[in-house]
Amino acid sequence: MGVAKLKKAELYYHKSVHDPIAAALQESGACQIISTLEAEGEFHKTPAEVDALISCTEDKLADVRYLNRTLTPHYVDPIPALDRMLGERPDVTMTELAELASNTDLKALCEKTRAVEHEAGNVRLKLSEARLNSSILASLSFLDYPLSIFTEGTQTLTALAGNIKTDNIPALRATLSEKFSQDTELLTAPYDEKKDKGQEVCAVIMYVRSIESEIRELAAKNGLSLIEVPASFALTPAEEKEKITASISELEAEDLKLTEKLKALAQENMLTVQKLSDYYNSLAARYNGTAKSDETDCTMLTKFWIPVAKCEELTAKLEAISPEVELIFSDPAPDEEPPSLLTNGDLVRPFNILTELYSSPTYRGIDPTPLLAPFFWLFFGMCLGDAGYALVVFGTILYVFKKYKKMSLGVKDFIKLFLFCSVSTFIYGVISGSFFGNFIDSFVPVLVPLKNSLMLVDPMTNPMQVLGISLLIGVVHLMFGLLIAAYDKIRSGFIFDAIGSNLSWFFFIVGLCLMGVGMAGMLPAHFTQIGQAMAIIGAVIIFFYAGKEKKGIINKIISGFLALYGSTSYLGDILSYSRLLALGFGSAVIGMVINLLGGLAANIPYIGWLVAIVVVIGGHIFSILINILGSFVHPLRLQYVESFGKFYSGGGEPFTPLTLSHEFVNVKA
Amino acid sequence: MLGLSLALFGAALAAALAGIGSAIGIGVAGGAAAGVMTEDPNKFGSCLILQALPGTQGIYGLLIAFFVLNKLGLLGGAGAVDLTWNQGLQILASCLPIAVVGWYSAIWQGKTSAASIQMISKKPEAMGKAIILPAMVETYAVLALLTSILMLMGVQVG
């Protein structure tokens, strides 16, 4: 339990066995290679043999990445995304992958794909050009002249086309006829003066070549934005349109054909590409790992961290590969900071992720997981707090476990977390009388006596009771945190600090609580006196400890009072636990509302029962999802902010061993 | 009937203001999520969770509104209870915490969610921290919900 003890391993081996040794280290999944670069702080030279392997692998990897990137958008994965996430993927061994790699001509496949992709690119370029031309033709469709008038013109005449706002047309027409009445003609697309006011329409000016520059100037002045008529246009717009429509449909057919070709390529090769992606990524990780080794002419030295529990297994494995290996284990030196690996039993392990989400503990620090697990479990149960919802979650998870056998450990643990928490949810649901909200009261009144006989608390009619319990749990949780902090300090030899900054607060707050409870008459009167004494002792220690480093009596007094004022933050922390009531209450009331709506829907004539069933089932599914989110986030906040704030800061580097890549397939050693 | 109107006004405020806040908050977060997903569509799952966080205020508002309607006997066809204007005003007051705090906290939670979404686009491994930051804002909505519930339970009607 806690942070795993690690050994520092130094592995000496002959260069000739580099490959099998590196593979064994990777396949064990228990070795985090130590970078000699970091250790010595100078430029590290990668052994030449490894360097060659890396560059060879990177070459292949570049091809695989290209294929992956190009073909994935065209690939229809036969495995649904959810199944994939839950581990339903092909199983392969590294040996099979190596065979596949040697039988696959990646270069040829890349070239084939590139050729199709290139062709498809060209077709799309032509297609977009054709579509642009077609839109130009559409705007010129009012012309009856051959379009060569724009591109070549006649001996004396030429023309220009452009878009112009309808408001500007009269002015342009007036100016043209006034200045060059004989030499120009203005044609515009038909428009309605009222309806198309302010719209742009296409206009064409035909003119005698000699006045070209004047016309262009005039056109620009009157707000005519020119359209570039493509040089390929020669026939009338209608004829050109016919031509271009034909070519567009041809290009579209071509594009479709090429896309189909890419799809076929993807369907045929994607599985291989995915397998090879994992294969070459594994190799790249492996060689980049041993690249951190030191070398002599014939031998290499690889250093890595390994959990103590795995040492023997690895030694046996390496010695089986070659007698010429020397493996030396040593304990981490006091000035070294090894990575931290959380090892917890089956019951606590699913909660590891909560600690890791915050920050891994340091190697020599406390692993808070076993300490947070029971509280998180309880909090989640109180927040979701519904026996019916718990059964749904429990059943769903059992089904998932039954159906998906190949889940990765991480996914499995995360799901297990909710499996565990559904148990506390069920328990709290039973004792607070919540089963799909007030389902029992609304629809099966027969069971009401049974429900009521199991109820210990009733948030609906007596919320103050549950509020009190929530705050009490808060006090326990916070005090627990303080005691751990004190323990941690005493362990490291800071007994004085443990008393001054942790135990003092523990006495103070527990004392105050005892006083309060005693005065309320819930406990015998002498508890009041004990509480009073504890609170005074605590307060006195807090007061004096705060001023210990301050100079001058006034400064000491001021900092003492400031420290006592810090009790408001404890008050805030404790009140924060009222969310346990609020969220539990929230899910119960949402459930109640859904049942109520279902009951109202049942009054609809004829189909009422159907609507009611849909409302109740759909509503409760929604409620479960939204409430699970809340019930996960809020207990987590209580852990991270209220509890971890007292004793835990993390800051460790998580243990990241050299492993095989599992992005697309399940790779076995 | 003034009492009933005041009480209904309170219920309406709770559902409407908290709902408006959630809608704005989710909208802000959704914009950020869409931005992140244009780069990496695989982040849909985590983005959706972060986007959903400011949605709870709307639910809290709805919850209080139903609570009031139930208290007034307006659900289930039992007929409205008689309310003095004073009682109506008390119910209206009870709705205000979740109405106002729900409204504002959802907007700010949405902004925090949006920032968190930006964060996981760069550092997907920081999902835990990204969820906690918006949840810090929600605390005050939870406290307001609690206040509203306790106040409503204290108001005697009928």
Q: Name every chain B residue with its beta carbon within 8 A of the beta carbon of A357.
A: 127-129
Residues ≥6 apart with Cβ < 8 Å to B107:
B21, B24, B25, B28, B54
CA angle A80, A86, A92 (to 5 degrees): 85
Tokens describing residue A263: 């799809």
Cross-chain CB nearest to B75 (options A464, A596, A626): A596
Does A577 lie at the interface with B, CB-CB under 8 angstroms? no
Domains of chain A, each with CATH number or no CATH = 2-104+260-330 (no CATH), 148-228 (3.30.70.2750), 350-454+586-653 (no CATH), 462-577 (no CATH)
* Tokens 């016309």 -> residue: A215
Total domains, chain B:
1
Q: Give B51's strand partners.
A: none
Cross-chain CB nearest to A590 (options B63, B132, B153): B63
* CATH code, B69: 1.20.120.610
Please report, for residues B21, B69, B71, the alpha-carbon distance to residue B13 in angstroms, rounded to integers and kept in the order given.
Answer: 12, 13, 16
Judged against a pLDDT cut of 90, whether residue A252 lies above it is answered with yes
Q: B132, A354: Cβ pair inside 8 Å?
A: no
Percentages helix, strand, coil for chain A (3-state, rounded to 5) are 65, 10, 25
Judged against a pLDDT cut of 60, whether residue A439 lies above it is answered with yes
Judged against a pLDDT cut of 80, whether residue A525 lies above it is answered with no
Q: Name every chain B residue with its beta carbon within 8 A of the beta carbon of A589.
A: 63, 66-67
Give the C-alpha separation, B138 to B59, whole Å: 12
pLDDT digits 0-9 by tens, B41-61: 878 878 888 888 898 899 889
Q: Name every chain A residue with its beta carbon within 8 A of the beta carbon of B136.
A: 637, 641
Q: A581, B146: Cβ pair inside 8 Å?
A: yes
pLDDT given at position A202 = 86
Give the C-alpha separation, A284 to A303, whole Å: 18
pLDDT given at position B117 = 94
Would you place residue A514 in the very low, low, confident or very high pLDDT band (cuts 50, 70, 90)?
A: confident
- Pick from B14, B17, B23: which is nearest to B51 by CA? B23
In three-state secondary structure terms, A523 is coil
Q: What is the DSSP string of A318-363?
A: HHHH-SSEEEEEEPPPTT----B-EE--TTTGGGHHHHHHH-PPPT
Per-residue b or e along B28-51, where b marks 16 or more CB atoms closer than 10 Å to that residue's CB:
bbbebbeebbeeeeebeebbebbb
Sheet holding A157-165, edge to edge: A184-188, A200-208, A157-165, A225-227
Three state DSSP letters for A458-488:
CCCCCHHHHHHHHHHHHHHHHHHHHHHHHHH
Give the residue, A336 or A384, on which the prediction is more confident. A384
> Domain residues for B55?
2-154
ipTM over 0.85: no
pLDDT digits 0-9 by tens, B74-125: 876 667 788 899 999 999 999 999 999 999 999 999 999 999 999 999 988 8
pLDDT digits 0-9 by tens, A90-123: 889 988 998 998 888 888 999 999 999 999 999 9
Name the average pLDDT for chain A: 87
Chain B interface, mutation test: which of A351, A356, A578, A642, most B Cβ atoms within 10 Å?
Answer: A578
Give the C-alpha separation, A451 to A445, whole Å: 10
Name the percent of chain A lying above pLDDT 90. Answer: 28
| Nearest-neighbour CA in chain B from A245: distance (Å) | 34
Give the C-alpha separation, A312 to A20, whole Å: 18
